[in-house]
Amino acid sequence: MPINFALLKELCETPGAPGHEERIREIVIRELKPLADKIEVDALGNVIAMKKGTAGGRFMIAGHMDEISFMVKFIDDRGFLTFVPLGGFDPKTLTAQRVIVHGRKDLIGVMGSKPIHIMSEDDRRKPPRLEDFFIDLGLPVDKVKKLVRVGDVVTRERTVIEMGEVYNGKSFDDRIGVFVMIEAFKKAKRGKMDVYAVGTVQEEIGIRGAMVAAHNIDPDVGVALDVTLACDVPFTDKSQAISEMGKGTAIKAYDGSVVPNWKLVDWMRSLCEAKKIPWQMEVLPSGGTDTAGIQRAGKGAAAGCISVPTRYVHSVIEMIHPKDVQASIDLLAAMIKECRADQFKLR
C-alpha cells in the first residue's frame, strides 16, 4: 500500500511550535474523528482519540505534534528580532535559512548573522552560537512592531519533497510519528484493548503533553512514536550509526530517558518476525521521547517506542525512507490488533 505522501507533506509543512500546535491538532482531529468512538482535547492541548476494544485494558499511543522552533524575545530599534530556542538546535543548521514569524499575520523572515567578510580571524575560527543569529523581516521597524510582539513564535520554512527513493524536509521529528499513528489507527480498525491515540504537545521542551495525557489515561500499555538517529553516513563509525535508513522500523531498547519494558520489546520483535516486517534495534545514548512520560504515569505502564530512522535530525533537511515508515505503520497496527493488558507483567 503506497504511503499517503499528501497527508505527510501537509503535516510536516503545517507550523506547530511547542504550545502552539493548534493547526496540526486540527489535521489530527480531521483524520481521526471519523474512526474514533470519542475524541477530545485536554487543557494542555493534547488531542485524544479513543476506540473501544473487545477485552478491556487501556493502550496509549503517542506522537508529538510540536516541532523545534523559536520565540521572539526582543525587537531592536532597526526591526531585527532576537529569539530563544524552543527545543534543541545545532546552531550551524540556521545559516542562510528562511523562517516564518507567527505574528499578527505570518511573515517570512531570514536568519541573519555577521558576514564572514568583516569577521576577525578569531571570530571565523569559533563555532556558531544561537546568540550569533537574528531574524530579518525586510521591513522597517514601525511595521515590524505593528505585526510582531515579544512572545510570538517562529517556525522554519521548508517544503517536503520526494528525492530519489526517500522523503526530505523539515519536522519529520515528529510529524512522521503523528502520521504513523493516524495510518495505523486507520489500518487496525479495532483491537482487544481500548486504544487511545494521542497527538501530544510540548515534547520538544520536556515531554509535557505526554505526561499529562498519560496521567489522565492511566494506560496499562503504551507506545511512543518518534524518530531516531540514522547516522549511517560518511565520517561516522558504524558503531555510532544507531539505526540505518531503509532497513526497517526501529524498536527502542534504550534512550537517555527510558529503559522500555523488556517483555514488550521482545513481543514487538516477535510480531515483526511473524509478520515479516523489517526491523532493527535502537540503543540511543542520549535524548528522550514521550515513552518516558507514558512509563511514569499513574501506577506505571509497560512502555515502548517505535522509531523511524532519520538522517540529519533537527535540521530542515531531515531524511526518511518510505520502507521504514510503512514498517512502522505495520508494526503499530499489529500491536493495536493483538495487544492484551496482562501480557507484559514483570512478575
> 278, 295 in Cβ contact below 8 A?
no
Contact (CB, 8 A) for 278 and 272: yes
The question of whether 203 is a catalytic residue gets the answer yes
| Encoded amino acid at 257, one letter | S
Q: How confident is the model at residue 1 (pLDDT cuts 50, 70, 90)?
A: low
Identify the pLDDT of residue 297: 85
Helix (H, G, I), strand (E, B) or coil at 299: coil
pLDDT of 326 strictly over 70: yes
Separation between Cα atoms, residue 247 and residue 345, nearest integer Å: 30
Answer yes or no: are the C-beta atoms of 279 and 272 closer than 8 Å: yes
DSSP-derived secondary structure for 189-221:
---SSEEEEEEE--GGGTSHHHHHHHHHH--SE
pLDDT in tens, 85-134: 999 999 999 999 999 999 999 999 999 987 778 778 877 888 888 999 99
pLDDT digits (tens, 9 = 90+) for 280-312: 999 999 989 999 999 998 889 999 999 999 999
Q: Is the dihedral of CA 173, 189, 49, 223 positive or negative?
A: negative
Q: Give me Rg for the CA atoms of the chain.
A: 21
| Cis bond upstream, residue 324 (ω within 30) | no
What backbone phi and psi angles, to 5 degrees, belong to 273?
-65, -45
CA torsion, points 214, 173, 344, 342, in degrees to nearest 10? 50
Q: How far apart, in Å, are the Cα atoms of 272 and each of 187, 269, 289, 337?
A: 16, 5, 22, 14
Run of H or E including 161:
strand 161-163
Q: Whole-angstrom Cα distance, residue 185 to residue 165?
A: 26
C-alpha cell at 202: 510540548
Crossing angle for the helix pair 322-338 and 262-275, to the nearest 10 degrees: 110
Q: Which domains does the chain have, with CATH numbers?
A: 5-67+159-338 (3.40.630.10), 76-156 (2.40.30.40)
**Phi–psi pair at 169, nearest 5 degrees:** 165, -160
Give CA–CA dist 290/260, Å, rounded: 12
Amino acid at site 127: P
Q: What mean pLDDT is predicted for residues 252-279?
A: 97
Angle between helix 322-338 and 172-188 (nearest 10) = 50
Cα 202 to chain centroid distance, Å, stands at 10
Question: Which residues does residue 298 pair with via DSSP β-bridges, in sequence order?
Answer: none
C-alpha cell of 217?
489515561
pLDDT tens digits along 209-241: 999 999 999 999 999 999 999 999 999 988 889
In DSSP terms, which residues pair with 303 in a beta bridge? 222
pLDDT tens readout for residues 156-206: 999 999 999 999 999 999 999 999 999 999 999 889 999 999 999 999 999
pTM for this prediction: 0.96
Separation between Cα atoms, residue 181 and residue 198, nearest integer Å? 8
Q: Given this model, what pLDDT does residue 154 score?
A: 98
Which spans in 119-171 are helix H? 121-125, 141-147
Q: Could you report the per-residue pLDDT of 16-73, keeping only the tens digit for each?
A: 999 999 999 999 999 999 999 999 999 999 999 999 999 989 999 999 999 999 999 9
- The rounded distance, in Å, linking the Cα atoms of 218 and 298 is 6
Q: Are 191 and 22 in contact (CB under 8 A)?
A: no
> Which one is catalytic: 31, 203, 204, 282?
203
User: Helix, strand or coil for residue 178?
Assistant: helix
pLDDT at 120: 80
Please name the amino acid found at residue 306.
I
- Cell numbers at residue 108, please? 517570512
